[in-house]
A and B are shown apart, each in its own frame.
Chain A
Amino acid sequence: MSDNATYQHRLRRRHMASRIFAGICLLSTWFGLFVLVVLLTGLTLKATGIWDPTGPDTQLETRNWLTMTFLTEHMSRKPEQSGMIAGVWGSLWLMLMTGFFSIPIGVGAAVYLEEYSKPNRFTRFIRLNIANLAGVPSIVFGILGLTVFSRMFGLFADGAVRGIPLGIGVLYIPLPFGKTLLSGSLTLSLLILPIVIIASQEALRSVPQSIRHAALALGATKWQTIWHQVLPASLPGIMTGVILALSRAIGETAPLIVIGAATYIRFNPGGMERVTDYFTTPQTLLSVPSSQFTAMPLQIYEWVSHQPNPEFKNVAAAAIVVLLAILLLMNGLAVYIRHHFSKRLDW
């Protein structure tokens, strides 16, 4: 064989290997999309009773589980009467309160780190600490919440209650916080704090220095510069990060189970059974933080793991479809904000 033929042969082999490698990488990339499609269609088919991918169970009647009553009813021992309203309200309140605690602290910490901190040991320590905190398993946060918020180290054995008078009524805070929305949202706040801080830092970093210099040159103080110029300019980025962090929070299950949140419950937070209750008796809003609660992922866990009747697996599928729809909406909102404002704010 001549040298040239050997060379041609080898070249073909090398190109072939290169193409095979590219094919493997391409397949791996689409694997994620494939899983997502299988997961979403499989769940939707099972929830709507169109087709059960796991094979039809002849003892069960085929029905659509994803109905309006499923959204408006409470949980039940009977699968066909089960609903997830308590979890929907619970998750909504959990998200609101988690945002209430974590947004100011997270954005504040990011502002401190990006705008005020000096490059010294202390700052490096905080940054390292935040990076490590982001890697702590969520269940460890659950144990933190259980001990610090839910039980408060067993310091208040008698179950003391503190009342804080507010305009429309008295805000009762039980001590320890117990298995309440307050414990749950504080725990989730600490859990998503690193995500909020890191996202806000990135948003603040993307604001050009010239904006700060211009404001400072006009005689604004440091905080005026941040409050009136830097924060508004970085708001889209911060909002995107916050929405993604909150969508992570409403999908969390393990920490809530560990702090003792109910998986089976038949009332909404604060006993607000109708939307109109929020207007007719606004003073009961104050009992929401000290109310026991459940959340959508907790209900899913209850239905899939603790109910022996196999029909509850279909109920769980319906609840998952609702939860995923809400999460996709939030994701879409975040993407929209990022896209919409990144076009408008072109430095």
Chain B
Amino acid sequence: MNNSRHSLSAKTNFRRVWETIVFSALWFCAVVSILTTGAIIFVLVTESIIGFGDNLAFFQKVSVWNFLTDLEWSPQYGEGKFGILPLFVGTLWVTGIAALIGLPIGLASAIYLSEYATPTTRSIVKPVLEILAGIPTVVYGYFALIFITPLLIKPFGAMLGIDVNTFNALSGGIVVGIMIIPMVTSLSEDVLRAVPRGLREAGYALGSTRLDVSVKIVLPAALSGILASFLLAISRALGETMAVTIAVGIQPQITMNPFQTMCTMTANIVSMASGDSSTGSIEYRSIYAVALSLFLITLALNILSQFILNRYREVYH
């Protein structure tokens, strides 16, 4: 009798200890994500802003002013020029074209799915969008270089009488635009569907057409969520790497001609990292400075999108 009670309490004690162990392990798992963010910031900052010992960081050799204002990115020649502007212009071109294509199409199909589509249509379109979202970016790069440039852009350029480079910002922008469509559609559709039915029915009762209801009632009600999804999609387009490396090329230049080859910030990181610059060299360090810029821009966009969502969300009861 006494014995069994003893073993029961031993079991309970063991369980209590086990619960604590499990709790600590799970807590640690959750903290891994914070450690990851911390590690990203640590790595980017120590390699580009404050170096340790005789390991000089990038900005201790190249001034921030030169980095931001120099009009040339040519690390290999002579002293090396590290102006991020050409890379930024390339990124801006690709992101701009992608936004022009991806945002309206994504939003229009979100409106269709939430306001017009029958359940059958939705059950076909949703998986298609999921598959589109799951296609690797290297495949989109191939598609742009092998199909879009020769079949679409070269004839178009010939029509306008413009020389089209095999690598051009337009083809990269188009495929990145296609890539962000699923993201815009699914995020926007969620917020459109969250708008209560009553608002729509009130609109119809007043004699509105479907266009009126969609554009004048549902869209304004879901505006904050749509803006947030736009910002997330743009941040995704900024960080897109392989498609633009393959399709846009790796030649940094400031140009206003989207039929020309350029180099985005991401493509520059790929080309520098796969090149043969030695690990301690300043060219090698430059990828951290570019990555830091990219990280800060995308982080700002993500935080802004969350801020818009939290601050301006219409709450319906």
The answer to whether the Cβ of B256 comes within 8 Å of any Cβ in the partner chain is no
Q: Which residues of B contact A247 (CB under 8 A)?
A: 134
List the count of A-B residue pairs having beta carbons below 8 Å apart. Answer: 261
Interface segment out of the listed A75-83, A108-116, A269-277, A279-287: A108-116
Interface residues in B264-316 (C-beta closer than 8 Å to A): 266, 269-270, 273-274, 279, 287-288, 291, 294-295, 298-299, 301-303, 306
A interface SS class: helix
The answer to whether the Cβ of A217 comes within 8 Å of any Cβ in the partner chain is no
Q: B23 to A116, Cβ gap below 8 A?
A: yes
Q: Which residues of A contact B182 (CB under 8 A)?
A: 32
Question: Which residue of B32, B121, B146, B235 is within 8 Å of A193 (Cβ)?
Answer: B32
Q: A300 to B29, Cβ gap below 8 A?
A: no
- A110-132 vs B, CB cutoff 8 Å, 1 = contact: the mask equals 01110011000000011011111
- B16-60 vs A, CB cutoff 8 Å, 1 = contact: the mask equals 001100110111111111101101100110010000000000000
B interface SS class: helix
Interface segment out of the listed A12-20, A59-67, A162-170, A207-215: A12-20
Q: A136 to B298, Cβ gap below 8 A?
A: yes
Interface residues in A203-224 (C-beta closer than 8 Å to B): 221-223
The answer to whether the Cβ of B170 comes within 8 Å of any Cβ in the partner chain is no
Q: Which residues of A contact B302 (CB under 8 A)?
A: 131-132, 135
Q: A136 to B299, Cβ gap below 8 A?
A: yes
The answer to whether the Cβ of A178 comes within 8 Å of any Cβ in the partner chain is no
- B66-101 vs A, CB cutoff 8 Å, 1 = contact: the mask equals 000000000000000000000000000000000000
The answer to whether the Cβ of A288 comes within 8 Å of any Cβ in the partner chain is no
Q: Which residues of A contact B34 (CB under 8 A)?
A: 125-126, 129
Determine the residue in chain A with the shortest Cβ distance to B104: A28
Interface residues in B115-162 (C-beta closer than 8 Å to A): 115-117, 121, 124-125, 127-132, 134-139, 141-143, 145-147, 150-151
Q: Which residues of B contact A142 (CB under 8 A)?
A: 269, 273
CB distance from B63 to the nearest CB of A (A): 22
7 sampled A-B residue pairs with Cβ under 8 A: A14-B212, A17-B211, A18-B209, A31-B105, A53-B151, A133-B36, A251-B136
Ranked nearest first, the 6 interchain pairs of A and B with the lowest CB-CB distance are A137-B239, A251-B136, A108-B29, A28-B108, A25-B112, A18-B211
Interface residue ranges, B against A (CB under 8 Å): 15, 18-19, 22-23, 25-34, 36-37, 39-40, 43-44, 47, 104-106, 108-109, 111-113, 115-117, 121, 124-125, 127-132, 134-139, 141-143, 145-147, 150-151, 178, 181-182, 185, 209-212, 214-215, 232, 235-236, 238-242, 245-246, 266, 269-270, 273-274, 279, 287-288, 291, 294-295, 298-299, 301-303, 306
Interface residue ranges, A against B (CB under 8 Å): 14-15, 17-18, 21-22, 24-29, 31-33, 35-36, 38-39, 42-43, 46, 53-55, 104-109, 111-113, 116-117, 125-126, 128-133, 135-144, 146-148, 151, 154, 190, 193-194, 197, 221-223, 244, 247-248, 251-254, 257-258, 260, 263, 297, 300-301, 304-305, 313, 316-317, 320, 323-324, 327-328, 331, 335
Known: A112-B26, A304-B142, A331-B131. 18 other contacts (CB 8 A): A18-B209, A21-B214, A25-B111, A29-B113, A32-B178, A39-B135, A54-B146, A105-B32, A107-B29, A133-B36, A138-B239, A140-B291, A143-B43, A144-B40, A146-B273, A254-B137, A297-B242, A304-B145
